[in-house]
Amino acid sequence: MCEKKTERLHLRVCPSSKAKLENMAKRAGISLSKTMEQLIEESPIREMPPLDYFHLLSGLRQIGTNINQVAHVANYMKDVHYAEYIQNWRELQQIILEIRRSVELR
């Protein structure tokens, strides 16, 4: 990828090709220019995940935050079940990773 975009490119395409390019850009949530750049660079153009994906990840992050807060209190109170805490934390991280992978593979 280049450092600075200084060159302009003007090209003609048929209406159906233009519509396909515009559709690709819209589904990916990027500009038409960026779509063309990714095609030239042979980079994959991935569709933007649905809004539910971002809401789900946000909720999972909040759960992770809550787990950390409970762990801090438990540690302060000297009542920590480390093995159980670590197991729950790992399961949450695995779920987040699986969700990200499933969306990225679309």
Q: Which residue has the higher pLDDT, 29 or 88?
A: 29
| Number of structural domains the chain divides into | 2
Domain with 33 in it: 11-47
For residue 38, how far is the Cα from the chain centroid? 17
Lookup: tokens for 14: 């048929």
Lookup: tokens for 39: 């095609």
Compute the half-sphere exposure of residue 27: CA atoms within 13 Å on the CB side of its CA: 11
Grade residue 13 by pLDDT with cuts at 50, 70 and 90. very high
pLDDT of residue 88: 79
Please indicate, yes or no, if residue 1 is contained in any of the structural domains. no
Q: Which residue has the higher pLDDT, 63 or 41?
A: 41
Please indicate, yes or no, if residue 5 is contained in any of the structural domains. no
Residues 60 and 96 grouped into a single domain: yes
Please state, in angstroms and rounded to a whole number, the distance separating the CA atoms of residues 47 and 49: 6
Residues 64 and 87 grouped into a single domain: yes
Please indicate, yes or no, if residue 3 is contained in any of the structural domains. no
